[in-house]
Structure 1
Amino acid sequence: MMKHTLLLAGLGAALPFSALAADSSAPDNTLERVTITGSNIRASVKAKANPVQLITAADIAKSGKADLPDVLRSLAVNSGNSFNEQVTGSFSAGTAGVSLRGLGQRNTLVLVNGKRVSNYATAQELQETFVDLNALPLKAVKRIEILKDGASAIYGSDAIAGVVNIILYPDYQGAEAGVEFSRDSSTGQNQQKFNLLAGKGDLEQDGYNIWFAFDSQKRGRLDQTDVSWLKDNDFRGLPGGSLNRAVTNYYGSDPTNRFPKAVGPLQDTDYSTLNPAKSGRVWAYNPAQYTTLMPAIERYHAALHGSYRLNATAEAYAEFLYGASHASAIFAGPLSLTSSLRAWDAANQKLVPISTTLPVGHPDNPNAAPTPFSTVLFGQGERDKTDSTSFRRLLAGVKGSGDKWDWDVSGLYSDSRLREYAYNFVNRYAYEALLQNGGYSFTDPSKNSEAVKDSLRINTLRPAYYRVMSLDATASTELGRLPAGPIGFAAGYQLRREVMNAGTSWQMLSGTELRPALDLIDGSRLIQAAYSELNVPLLKNLSLSAAARADHYSDFGNAFSPKLGLRYQPLESLTLRGSVSKGFRAPSLPEITQSTAVSYSSAQDPFDPVTPGRSVSFTHLVVANPAIKPERSNNLNLGFVFSPTASTSIGVDYYRIRQKDVIGLEDPETLIRNPQAYPGQVVRDSQGRLQSISQKFINLSSQSTSGFDLELSQSWKFAPGKLTLAAQWTRLLSFSKPLQQNGPQVEGAGSNVHGALPRWKGQTSANWEARDWSGTLTWFHTNGYTQATRDDDNDQAWVKGSDTFNLSASYKGFKRLTLTAAVDNLTNKRPPWDAHSGVYFNSSQYDPTGRTFILGAQYKLD
């Protein structure tokens, strides 16, 4: 395999340079040819064989969606298991990704102009490396192409579920600027946006073109207390709902053995309202006041692109992208002191327990013996975080097009940097000293001086970065002609290096920070890849495409990805297409390199001595595994497009993806129920309460998914204007994978056992254009799903679906000025209730925003 890789690499590297020497003729402009995502062979748009969904800048404007992540997350093919900035407690807070086919962000490749960009500086869910959509410019986007079948044969790793290719303007002349203001009428959340696009020069006439784009976005923070139907945290009237309160301030393990008086936000609460099996009175508080649903953000994006004509057939180009983002949120409430309190021992790479026992003689200890206690440091206030990130990509190259060869040679550098600031965390050593000398009152925080409270406070800084450097060379030509047409050929070579370093604060490494959360990653890899592609017209209406790619990774070894496709057009109005391919996903650097993560989660514990069978919290320790193998896939796509008239199009595509050696973690509840099978991995305290679970990434088993996509478009022309109906829907037939290594396959389609995966998801729009007016009504539908985790028979069994509508309109009757207005979530629909979502709804499918009014203006200077 290594010899094969080097052979292809040499072929791929040599072709572009032989093209430079051989191709000096002027380009043939008699037939417009373009490069479609999923192929390196330029051809007529009508000749494309891959299922590609096209979203133009005009489509984005009509959708009423506020930014790039909103546009992509609303797509039907974004089935589930994608994250956005609602996940404020993660190691990648303030980010947004896309997950085609529900296979996770790690299986969806995001490109800009057909080339890679840096992944985000840290990992989502401890293992997913992904491109942060919030880092990419929106104003510079000309169109987005969604390739909905596997593309490892062309692009390599991460393209198992498909490719999102964000295509910027190749050139631009003139200038325009715009502003937009929006307000959520339900929550009061405001947002302001500004954009600018300016360019000069005609590449054909002037020999150059240069353009600059800038956009900014500012939005206020949305806390749970800002949402009327969430702020009380009382869901007892809903299936499986309960009164969400946190119990604290008690001695020993019995919450009814409580401190003498309430402090802070504590309220006297009947224990049975929180747990029907219990009785007595407890101190409890509403955690909603310490929960941010969407962070406050400030984002700035800039793009600079230049092209220079070298001669009649070649041009040099350069492109620079920059993004800066600041996201601030309440990370959590004041620190809880319980028996699970821990600190990090860097020398031994483990967590060590920290005492929560009042010594004899402490003013808060009513007993003549050391007394365990649980409390919340309300006097210290909430804990906050601000994530400041920057993104850069510099691309430069030379490309040409002539009678025989098209070629492109480029170099790329891209990085993502994070500086996460955490405020008002707690100093372990100061806490231990005050616990022993009685210098801090836990039962009455009002007795504590500001000096004492300040001694407990620490602020930390967590740095991280991800870097990508690559050299790319591609070339395409016609190898010859058959009676049915030309034989298209393309080949290429890539040399790429990836580096990831996610650190932590010195307070964490020294063991100073209490209840630490960390995600330490330090790794790099070198990748060589060579690929080739062939398009053969077997008959006038039948063509065969073939592609192959060989990759060599310095950490795990080799991968080979072939692909075959057929395109058959028996009628002018009917096109049949199909493809089979093999793909792979390289283990992410957090999965295979030096990495250690400590996080906090919850699971059902049938052996809990206090609340058996109910969800309990635990500390989660996860480490990398250098022995894991890459994930491999077999992809099948079959479909047709029927266009009986120029104004009618119907497309149906079936997909099936089967993966093996899927990398992940076994279900924690499996470990909890079978501790004898996982010796040393499940740790309990002296009372038998779950403390921590330790795991490492493994190749679990296989998973598979299948379904089909529907695309419909119909337009009618009337005397006053034009009406266009368009729909994109996805039906999920199956999604199965095991919950443990070599375990049985568990079907997840239409349930949330593998994340919320509704069987139907789609959007349908009606657009009316008449002279200077344009209006669009868009219907977004997400089907319901089965509640896979149920505490008892009275728990919720089904999560309802959702239907929302956006309405947008524009008027361009003024010279150079376009006015826009939109209403998102026209009916002010709440997301459906999900009893096991953590707050109220599943954040991979929905967000808490209500009816939002948007006003905007765009002014063209040319």
Structure 2
Amino acid sequence: MNRKLLTTAVCGVLAVPFAALAQDAQSATDIDKVVVTGSLIPQVQIETATPIQSITAEDMQRQGFRDVYDVLRSQPLATGAVQDAQFSGGFTPGAEPISLLGLDPGFTLVLIDGRPMADYPLLYNGQSNFVDLSSIPTAMVERIDIAPGNQSAVYGSSAIAGVVNIILKKRMDGSQLNLRIGAYDQGGGANTRFQFTTGREFGDLSLVFGLQYSEQDPIYGFDRDQIDSTNDNPDPDLRYGSRTFLRSLADGTYVSPDPSTCAPLSRLFGGSTIYDERPGRGFYCGSREEVGYTTIMNKEQSIAGYLNAVYTLNDNAELYGTLLVNRDKSESNSGSRFWQPSTDTGGFIVNADSGEFESFQHIFAPEETGDLDYNNERLTSDSYNFAAGIRGNFGASAWGYDAYYARSQFKIKSRQNWLLAQNVEDFFRESFLGPQLGEYYGYPIYSPDVAAFYRPVTPDEYRSFNSEIRTDSETWTHNLNLQLTNTELFELPAGPVGFAAVLQAGEQKWENPTDPRVVNGEFWGLTGTQGEGKRTNQAVAVEFRVPIFSMLTANLSGRYDQYKNEGLNEDNDTTYKIGLEFRPIESLLLRANYATAFKAPDMAYVFAGDSGFFTTVRDYYRCAVEEPGVPVSDCSFDAEQVFGTRRGAPDLESITAESWGGGVVWSPTPNFSVNADYYHIKIDNKVSDLNLDQLMQEESACRLGQLDPGSPTCVNALARIGRSAPTAPVPNQVETVLTNPINISKEEVSGILADLTYGWQAGSWGDFNLRLSYNVTLDHESQQYPEDPVLDLLSEPFYSSEFRNIGSASLSWNRGPWNANLYGVRYSRTPNYRAQINEAGYAVEGAERVDAMYRFNGTLGYEFTEDVALTFTVNNLLDEDPPEDNTWDVYPYYNNFNYNMYGRSYMLEVNWRFQ
């Protein structure tokens, strides 16, 4: 009901402007023609058929944002949950992506000055490519434009959810020094940032130079009282410690040690190791604070430089070049390492002394590793964006040109210490297991010295069975562009026709050669992704801006793209866009657009080599053979743990999409503007991995003779499912599965965007400016396979925890040397954890939701002189934690894909301008 009321209110905005039709239109002030995001043709009108949301450098400073990622993640368009740098246990702990409109991060095209950035070399969720926003320094940003919806007809691949165009500074008079220091209320995360920017004119040469250096301390879970211990678990029955020294039996019960056994271990994990009990299982030596030894904010150090140069050749031509470079070093800790014997048998051995199947578990504490940071994953990222070209006009004609070469590159060196499987097995055989005495149905037999198990290892011993994983990954993209424009191609009765054309040729590379020892299984309990490849692309695009009559203008664009994967297939796509602008009076714009788009398959989807993962599957075959008559959901083989292998699919085709929308913009005065737009995006041929459950069903039917074993379906299914031999200790057990991506899924999303800006002067009270923004998702549906039901992602929390709506408000004030801003954002309710996944791993009917969340940032500034200013910022003014969720009973006890636990922060900033 609330969503309907909000939607009705927004739609009501659409009717307001028609009351202005009877009013006299205010004359527009002539301004220079500019190139706006979403079009290649220079034009006077800033508001066009494509709705654009802009955030200026001043907005970023006044609204208290820490960096470019913080800016974009706070926008109402960014409704999707993402794995960012807060998620240290993922594949990309140093990266910060966004999800526009709840769609995949790879569906957003991120540009710098209209040119594409290189992908992040590591893979999002171990599968797909995306652009990292953490590498963009704020000191060099002039503004950020966001154009939602399909923009491929102008910009090419990936612009399905929309385009984020980051405009860098091009002109600057004088120099500026900026120093900012920051800290968090609850500790950790202390940060410092230094910026220097300058602009100079040397005759025909214009230069802008910038330098930014920043440091950030980590925030660990133990820095936050809400997540520093298992005592914070919302489920009282789960408030027991991590099993740092555990001896257990095959039925899940523990072999309880004498309480005195844990006393010598009490110093571990900061003195928190105790004799603890897990109800129903037994006693062990454990720590309730072990969970807090993971980072929720990375340790980081970065330096970035920027140079923009323009040299005027004559009145009609200029040379230009832009270079943005960045080096970032980050460290994250995904948690403590642990060991169990014999991973091939699920950690179980046969104890010759007790005659029982037993398992031993040891979680290594920082006191044993010798350093809290020893296990950190250390990433060194080097990236640059370069462009150089010539632009100008052909004589006194209206023809303009821009010819340039652009290149973007991203390199990552990943370093991480990890247990070597053979070394750690050898160490614990020598220290307490003893020599192997034989084998019982595949399970090794030992006579362990249990007393020797209950002792810490020394840092030297720990490091003796560790080795450093070293992986160097790289991506780059470069292209040659020739762009022609003519704002007066020919005259029509209603005015001149604008024209633009683009020729483009480029190449991309992705290389992620994971340390071969990881792929070969030489590290204990670890797997990884790998792959590499190149592809070329060529494109031609045209755009027309056609005044049909005085009140109506059409925007028409079309583009043809060709991608050739090196040594593999090629893929061609044609996209187009039609936009209409109707201005019955100067202050009122009615607009509509229809567009098609595409996304060339991620290079990782095409070129990925064999990459491993762990998952669970339902074994339909063993259920049918060994437990006939038992419902599958009650079968003992309902959730079998297996090792999966995933590889790329060379024959993938492009993902395609179409979008349409319409809206209204009303600006009756220079100080007041309101707009509302409807959007609808429909995606076909979306890439998804093969459905393992369907494969397991097909494999079972083939083995049982229900399908012809010689059919292509059976040959494929039987080759993908690996089982133990019929004579093995556990016959016909599923051991491996093989999957790859295919073009088969569909997705559809629609919603309404609205913005209002209003500025007024209040005499001696000062000047005020208000901006309101709102995005409501009306529908978001997905279908993974043609046979599957269509899922409502707003009501099926197992598949999505996106925000249904986000609204923001910014109120700024200026009076003499004083200025202030209050920025607030409201995030809608989202599903709680148990609504997302129950014990069986499936969605729960009648999903419950957690409360909406509000976050406020406040800034207060004072200008001592025209050149020296001081700004004090408080982020998360009310110190709001993520919404309480009494069902989120796994660490960190909140949805860290939607929210963070950073808490309130303070920043003090000094700005000095000089010549």
C-alpha separation in 2, matches of 1:750 and 1:63? 33
Q: Which residue of 1 aligns with 2:239?
A: 243
Q: Which residue of 2 aligns with 1:486?
A: 496
Identity of aligned residues (%): 22
Q: Which residue of 2 aligns with 1:724?
A: 769
What one-letter code is carried by the residue in structure 2 that aligns with 1:119? D
Mapping of residues 223-234 of structure 1, within 5 Å: 223-234=220-231
1:325 to 322, 325, 328: 328
C-alpha separation in 1, matches of 2:639 and 2:200? 61
Q: Which residue of 2 aligns with 1:307?
A: 310
Q: Which residue of 2 aligns with 1:4?
A: none
| In the alignment, structure 1 residue 655 sits paired with structure 2 residue 679 | yes
1:574 to 571, 575, 588: 588
**In the superposition, relative to structure 1, how do residues 170 and 614 fare at CA in structure 2: closer, same or farther (>3 Å)?**
farther
Give the C-alpha shift of residue 242 in structure 1.
4.3
Contact 2:304 2:324 in 1 (8 A): yes
1:465 to 464, 474, 483: 474
Give the C-alpha shift of residue 49 in structure 1.
2.1
Q: Which residue of 2 aligns with 1:403?
A: 397
C-alpha separation in 2, matches of 1:591 and 1:420? 22
Contact 1:750 1:784 in 2 (8 A): no
Larger mean CA deviation between 503-512 and 759-768 belongs to 503-512
Deviations 1:798-840 (A, max 9, x none): 1221011111121113241011011111111001135457523
Q: Which residue of 2 aligns with 1:852?
A: 905
Contact 1:137 1:303 in 2 (8 A): no
C-alpha separation in 2, matches of 1:231 and 1:615? 31
Q: Which residue of 1 aligns with 2:376?
A: 384
| In the alignment, structure 1 residue 220 sits paired with structure 2 residue 211 | no
Contact 1:547 1:563 in 2 (8 A): yes
Give the C-alpha shift of residue 671 in structure 1.
7.1
Give the C-alpha shift of residue 761 in structure 1.
0.4
Contact 1:701 1:742 in 2 (8 A): no
Give the C-alpha shift of residue 719 in structure 1.
1.1
**In the superposition, relative to structure 1, how do residues 284 and 505 fare at CA in structure 2: closer, same or farther (>3 Å)?**
same
| In the alignment, structure 1 residue 805 sits paired with structure 2 residue 850 | no
2:408 to 411, 414, 419: 414
C-alpha separation in 1, matches of 2:878 and 2:355? 62
Give the C-alpha shift of residue 251 in structure 1.
3.8
| In the alignment, structure 1 residue 597 sits paired with structure 2 residue 644 | no
C-alpha separation in 2, matches of 1:612 and 1:290? 35
C-alpha separation in 1, matches of 2:143 and 2:401? 23
C-alpha separation in 2, matches of 1:77 and 1:448? 50
Deviations 1:695-745 (A, max 9, x none): 211223211000010101111112122111111110011111135564111
**In the superposition, relative to structure 1, how do residues 667 and 504 fare at CA in structure 2: closer, same or farther (>3 Å)?**
same
C-alpha separation in 2, matches of 1:244 and 1:102? 36
**In the superposition, relative to structure 1, how do residues 609 and 786 fare at CA in structure 2: closer, same or farther (>3 Å)?**
closer
TM-score when scaled to structure 1? 0.87
Contact 1:582 1:632 in 2 (8 A): yes
1:786 aligned counterpart, secondary structure: coil
Larger mean CA deviation between 127-136 and 528-537 belongs to 127-136
| In the alignment, structure 1 residue 762 sits paired with structure 2 residue 782 | no
Deviations 1:314-360 (A, max 9, x none): 10011111111111121331223266x3xxxxxxxxxxx37845577
| In the alignment, structure 1 residue 431 sits paired with structure 2 residue 424 | yes
| In the alignment, structure 1 residue 664 sits paired with structure 2 residue 651 | no
Q: Which residue of 2 aligns with 1:830?
A: 881
Give the C-alpha shift of residue 54 in structure 1.
1.2
Give the C-alpha shift of residue 614 in structure 1.
11
Structure of higher CA gyration radius: 2
Give the C-alpha shift of residue 672 in structure 1.
8.0
C-alpha separation in 2, matches of 1:201 and 1:395? 20
What one-letter code is carried by the residue in structure 2 that aligns with 1:422? Q
Give the C-alpha shift of residue 751 in structure 1.
5.7
Deviations 1:648-678 (A, max 9, x none): 2111000000001111235767778998476
Q: Which residue of 2 aligns with 1:535?
A: 545
Q: Gapped runs of 5+ residues in structure 1?
A: 1-28, 273-277, 342-352
Deviations 1:480-511 (A, max 9, x none): 01111110111101111000110122432554
Contact 1:109 1:158 in 2 (8 A): yes
Give the C-alpha shift of residue 757 in structure 1.
1.4
Mapping of residues 196-215 of structure 1, within 5 Å: 196-201=196-201, 206-215=203-212
Mapping of residues 133-282 of structure 1, within 5 Å: 133-201=133-201, 206-237=203-234, 242-243=238-239, 245-247=241-243, 249-258=246-255, 260=257, 261-262=261-262, 263=265, 264=268, 267-272=274-279, 278-282=280-284
1:789 to 831, 836, 842: 836
Give the C-alpha shift of residue 186 in structure 1.
2.1
1:414 aligned counterpart, secondary structure: strand
Contact 1:614 1:791 in 2 (8 A): no
2:527 to 513, 517, 533: 517
What one-letter code is carried by the residue in structure 2 that aligns with 1:635? S
Contact 1:87 1:94 in 2 (8 A): no
TM-score when scaled to structure 2? 0.82
Deviations 1:65-120 (A, max 9, x none): 11110001100001113342112222222111222111121000000011112111
1:565 aligned counterpart, secondary structure: strand
Pairwise CA RMSD of aligned residues? Answer: 3.2
Give the C-alpha shift of residue 771 in structure 1.
1.7
1:456 to 435, 459, 465: 465
Q: Which residue of 2 aligns with 1:705?
A: 749
Contact 2:250 2:348 in 1 (8 A): no
Q: Which residue of 2 aligns with 1:638?
A: 662
1:839 to 886, 892, 895: 892
C-alpha separation in 2, matches of 1:525 and 1:281? 58
What one-letter code is carried by the residue in structure 2 that aligns with 1:536? V
| In the alignment, structure 1 residue 474 sits paired with structure 2 residue 483 | yes
Give the C-alpha shift of residue 583 in structure 1.
0.5
Larger mean CA deviation between 587-596 and 460-469 belongs to 587-596
**In the superposition, relative to structure 1, how do residues 369 and 753 fare at CA in structure 2: closer, same or farther (>3 Å)?**
closer
Give the C-alpha shift of residue 218 in structure 1.
0.9
2:119 aligned counterpart, secondary structure: coil
2:423 aligned counterpart, secondary structure: helix
C-alpha separation in 2, matches of 1:329 and 1:598? 22
Larger mean CA deviation between 120-129 and 661-670 belongs to 661-670
1:644 aligned counterpart, secondary structure: strand
Comparing both structures, which one devotes a greater share of its residues to helix?
2
Deviations 1:535-575 (A, max 9, x none): 11001110111111101111341011111111101122211
C-alpha separation in 2, matches of 1:813 and 1:588? 52
**In the superposition, relative to structure 1, how do residues 765 and 690 fare at CA in structure 2: closer, same or farther (>3 Å)?**
farther
1:700 aligned counterpart, secondary structure: strand
C-alpha separation in 2, matches of 1:796 and 1:186? 33
Q: Gapped runs of 5+ residues in structure 2?
A: 1-28, 434-448, 624-631, 702-716
Give the C-alpha shift of residue 781 in structure 1.
0.5
2:592 aligned counterpart, secondary structure: strand
Task: Report how many aligned residue pairs link the two structures.
Answer: 808
Give the C-alpha shift of residue 403 in structure 1.
3.5
C-alpha separation in 1, matches of 2:691 and 2:341? 25
Contact 1:666 1:741 in 2 (8 A): no
Q: Which residue of 2 aligns with 1:23?
A: none
C-alpha separation in 2, matches of 1:611 and 1:852? 51
